[in-house]
Amino acid sequence: MKITIIGGGGRVGSTAAFSMMINNLASEVVLIDISEDRAKGEALDLAHSISGMKIDAEVYGGSDYSLTENSDIIIVTAGVTRKPDMNRLELAESNIGIVRDVTKRALEYSKNPFVLIVSNPVDVLTYNTIKLSNLEPSRVIGLGTLLDTVRLKSLLKLMFNIEYSEEVMIIGEHGDSMTPVFSHLGADAPISKLRNVFEEVRVSAGKVIEAKGGTWFAPATAISEVVRGLQNKESTIMPISVYLENHGICIGYPSEVSSSGVRPVNYNLSREEEELFLKSVDRIRTAINKNL
């Protein structure tokens, strides 16, 4: 499988490339970046890193989009990154044009690929990509609240040694109005602990950004999870940013992910969860309308 990462010279893109390659998710990886030297340097470093791992994959980089020809998956990590005191929606004005332009250029060389949007605000950018491309909504995915769900499960394990699979997830905006879903757990679930951990998840990315300047390991793990799902015939349920026809926007919602594409599923929410989710929908819709 050929995978292109636009913004591949950056930390998220290059770390995602490494994660996918060591998990044997790609036979060919292309790093595209506005800085040709950076893309080539990261590609060479990656090639050196896998040389002794018995990984049969090719990696190369540059700024020429013809390198991306016939990509199966295009991953977009390009754009301005947020500072610790910013919310993700503040990036819309800067990143809409960047993501639109780089995606348009990449789609000139690949017919009907999957497009995975990682750049923020991911829900707004995923919606714009669907509207500005000729791709079916089932082939355009945003990383969405999968990353927040990864963080939630990690903190539950670290803080309380609690492990959950599909029963616990975060939906809605990948941002301030994200919504935790705990209603699918049994009556003995430690809801108060779960809510405390969720509040930590809400601010955790900002803490990492403040401490080290950005987040890249957790996003790379989530990206690899989506790519793995897109390669399998059997579907996996993930809370990714998808187009919800009944709301007319893209937002994090439980969806089937498979080699056939992505499809939101029917998912029961409690009354409180539904109310919080609808507030998140309104917030994303307002951001989309503001940046049309």
Q: With contact defined as beta carbons under 8 Å apart, do 111 and 74 qualify?
A: no
48 is known as an active-site residue: no
Measure the CA–CA gap between 77 and 61, rounded to whole angstroms. Answer: 15
Alpha carbon distances (Å) from 226 to 130, 143, 177: 18, 8, 23
Active-site residue, from 48, 174, 184, 247? 174
Residues across the chain: 292
Q: With contact defined as beta carbons under 8 Å apart, do 214 and 81 qualify?
A: yes
Which residues are within 8 A (CB) of 141 and not within 5 positions of it... i.e. 6 or more apart? 114, 115, 116, 117, 126, 226, 230, 240, 241, 242, 257, 262
Could you list the active site residues?
174
